[in-house]
Structure 1
Amino acid sequence: MLFDQLWDFLISHPISIIITLLIIYLTHITLKPLNRVRRLGDVGLFFGKPELRGFYRERQLERLKLLRRIGDLPPVFPNGWYCVCESERLAKNQIMEITVLGQFLSLIRSESGNVYITDSYCPHIGANFNIGGRVSNTTLHLVFTPTPSLQVIRDNCIQCPFHGWIFSAETGKCVEIPYDDGRIPEQARVTTWPCIERNNSIYLWYHCDGLDPEWEIPEISEITQEIWNFGGRTEHELMCHIQEIPENGADIAHLNYLHKSAPPITKGSDIIETDLSNPQPVVQHVWDGKWEVKSEENKHCGVMHLNQYMTIWGYRVPLTDSKLIAEQHGPGIVHMIFDFGIWGKGVVFQTVTPEEPLLQRVRFRMFSNIPWFFVKFFMTVEAMQFERDVFIWSNKKYIKSPLLVKNDGPIQKHRRWFSQFYTENSPRMLKDGSLSNQAKSIHDW
């Protein structure tokens, strides 16, 4: 009876039903945090006119990787902390494959919530932990008569899918061979990597000389105390050297050319289709910034101060002012602290992770007390402006000694600052595309 009544209502009011469902859907996508993901080839590369599709597009992408001019590059993997995952994407008792520093690694969260990173291959016969491996949380009972049985909790372990060998994800040592009661060989261990969970993200430490972490990643109290809410994320794959990306912070001159105009709705971030030479675009961003080293005590940290507002037909738009303090901690982490005046405050985390010598994964994540509609607008526009840079980075050549003029900004100062993250043993890309040496964990020396 109820079903018949519902069916009659649907037949009698189809327009009302459609409009209601449409409103529900639009409300859902409007309130949902931004999740803008761009894979390699989605933005920043030119595939001809008319644009190549399918197989021909993939072939052109491979040609671009091989034929683009890359210049006299610095080492490809600087020393520092790198984001490998966002915290909420790794559940308890989960093993996740991650790509960083030119290799596959295993990211593990145990039953207790601890996070570990190990090499992906079992030293026994080489099986891959990421394909069928398990987080092991077995409980062993050791009985000593006449005393009561003692319980030993084995947590934070990873188990190979091939023969069931169990390794401590914390120390890397093999703790059990399930079918063998003999002595476990001393060399039965898997390499582990230092990692830390901070500000709702997981970071890996790398140093080519085997040195322990040389600085801490600052904790943002507004996030740990849940004062600021998650507002959205963007993620981009791009083809360039890692140093090209943070160098933009010191390249003040490009802001008032490449990023002067607001992204047109119809053309988005495509700089090929956008008129960048217009001296007075209808909607314009006005930038004023500077870059400097934070202090001698925190020499690993560079700081950009940036003020911005918007104009329409040359008139300054109220409530569009923003102040930014962007602290870069090492080669791969930037904390962008924004003050939007009456709209509120927040932080955008920009992380750059070198997955391969010339393949970077860049993530932006925003936390703030700003209204959701302003956050979504800001994150979308910020992503489109960033994608203009992607067009440049994906096709440019690295010039070791650039030809600079007075108002270019402190680009050479930034390069000298960035050089502290390289040492003699930092891996370099050779002419044939191979590496001079592979990146290794500091626990593998």
Structure 2
Amino acid sequence: MIHVTAAESDAIRVIEAEEISTRFARGWHCLGLSDGFKDGKPHTINAFGQKLVVFQGEDGKINVLDAYCRHMGGDLSQGTVKGNELACPFHDWRWGGDGRCKQIPYSRRVPLRARTAAWQTADQDGMLFVWNDPEGNPPPPEVMVPKIPGATRDDWTDWVWNKTVVHTNVREVIDNVVDMAHFFYIHHSFPTFFKNVFEGHVATQVMNGKSRPDTARPASSNAPVLTGNSSVASYYGPSFMIDDLTYHYEGFDLESVLINCHYPIDENSFVLMSGIIAQRSDKLPGDAADQMAKTMSKFILSGFDQDVEIWKHKARIDNPLLCEEDGPVYQLRRWYEQFYVDVADIDPEMTARFEHELDTTRPVESWQREVEENIARREKAASS
């Protein structure tokens, strides 16, 4: 038994928050749908505390370079794609996707050290990924984001994609992996099962839930009745989550894949994106599945807005005071730390398998009472 003195219990808990590091996470980061970069023009991306330029050459490969020309500092994102090279708008120096200057039209030769930073990219499942590593090492094959079968199949919809800028540190997004309670209070869902598994570079959240009847919007007469959902959501590295999300309706299940991903602009802001595809079926053929995916996307986007509103006003806290039902916040942050240290400094505890199933008995009983009280209060007000 742990004995706590009166002086200890009366002590004020002080919020601790270290200065945010300007180091950005090692890993694959999604910059958005790849088709948006395939128009033969250079595109500006502000990421990892600097300005980048994205362009596709005639060979079809999408390239990412530092945006400023090493000659006289011209902005390459204002330049022109010429063949497989990006021409600087200032003096027409031609830069290849490998970061080397390929030619200078007015010069007999290219200086030996004419090289800029080039970022390794991957065009996969309709999304563009870029590899970031402060140490400059190439990505190990085993950390590549897994392919999503539905993204390339005709019996699934196309991606419905959203993007927004959030002005806070990216760690706030990651904390949601273990935060069961906020789903009830912020997103108006009702978790009934919640489990986390961390291992290697993957952090997984398994959750079953149902809608809160006291906050659910009235369904139209011809709309299918939603009874619950099942979710297996995994972060593959520091910034890209794949959620195999099943919505349970009366008479059928809707299979979908939700992407929740982000990349840092700087240490105090990031681009938050979501993408969703849904599987077509005899219950949801063709256009019906497309419309459902759009509806689901709006719902997911509203959930992001709810999170952002909290993040805008909350304090950063390194020593959160937790109760028994709060989930493994510290263990998640220990897992997350592996992406912010040199590879040689990764502690085995950061990558060792950790598994925790949260006991939902108390939360479910409490939330059920709250829902019933809210419904009774609303019915009483309506009848008076």
TM-score if structure 2 supplies the norm length?
0.75
Q: For this pair of structures, how many residues does the alignment match?
A: 308
Q: How does 1:329-408 map to 2 (within 5 A)?
A: 329-341=236-248, 342-369=252-279, 371-408=289-326
Q: Which residues of structure 1 form unaligned runs of 5+?
A: 1-68, 138-155, 261-284, 426-445
**Counterpart check, 1:197 vs 2:123:** yes
**Counterpart check, 1:86 vs 2:33:** yes
Q: Which amino acid aligns with 1:224?
A: T
Q: Which residue of 1 aligns with 2:12?
A: none
Q: Distance in 1 between matches of 2:215 and 2:274?
A: 30
Q: Distance in 1 between matches of 2:195 and 2:167?
A: 25
Q: Which amino acid aligns with 2:64?
A: I
**Counterpart check, 1:126 vs 2:63:** no
Q: Which residue of 2 aligns with 1:286?
A: 190
Q: Distance in 2 between matches of 1:390 and 1:383?
A: 10
Q: Distance in 2 between matches of 1:165 and 1:90?
A: 21
CA contact (8 A) 1:94 1:110 kept: no
SS state of the match for residue 379, structure 1? helix
Is the alpha carbon distance of 1:178 and 1:376 closer, same or farther for their aligned partners in structure 2, counting shifts above 3 Å?
A: closer
Q: Distance in 1 between matches of 2:172 and 2:193?
A: 19
**Counterpart check, 1:418 vs 2:336:** yes
Q: CA deviation at 1:231?
A: 5.2
CA contact (8 A) 1:291 1:302 kept: no
Q: Which amino acid aligns with 1:189?
A: R
RMSD: 2.3
Q: Distance in 2 between matches of 1:308 and 1:208?
A: 39
Is the alpha carbon distance of 1:94 and 1:226 closer, same or farther for their aligned partners in structure 2, counting shifts above 3 Å?
A: farther
CA contact (8 A) 2:38 2:62 kept: no
CA contact (8 A) 2:16 2:319 kept: no
Is the alpha carbon distance of 1:424 and 1:100 closer, same or farther for their aligned partners in structure 2, counting shifts above 3 Å?
A: same
Is the alpha carbon distance of 1:311 and 1:125 closer, same or farther for their aligned partners in structure 2, counting shifts above 3 Å?
A: closer
CA contact (8 A) 2:204 2:234 kept: yes
CA contact (8 A) 1:291 1:410 kept: no
Q: Which amino acid aligns with 1:372?
A: D
Is the alpha carbon distance of 1:202 and 1:313 closer, same or farther for their aligned partners in structure 2, counting shifts above 3 Å?
A: closer
Q: Distance in 2 between matches of 1:105 and 1:288?
A: 44
Q: Which amino acid aligns with 1:403?
A: L
CA contact (8 A) 1:73 1:398 kept: no
Q: Distance in 1 between matches of 2:56 and 2:196?
A: 38
Q: Which residue of 2 aligns with 1:175?
A: 102
Q: Which residue of 1 aligns with 2:151?
A: 223
Give the percent of matched residue pairs that are identical in Structure 1 and Structure 2.
Answer: 25
CA contact (8 A) 1:334 1:351 kept: yes
Q: Distance in 2 between matches of 1:259 and 1:102?
A: 31
Is the alpha carbon distance of 1:346 and 1:186 closer, same or farther for their aligned partners in structure 2, counting shifts above 3 Å?
A: same
SS state of the match for residue 77, structure 2? coil
Q: How does 1:20-419 map to 2 (within 5 A)?
A: 71-76=17-22, 77-131=24-78, 133-137=79-83, 156-169=84-97, 171-181=98-108, 183-214=109-140, 215-230=143-158, 232-260=160-188, 285-295=189-199, 299-312=200-213, 318-341=225-248, 342-369=252-279, 371-419=289-337
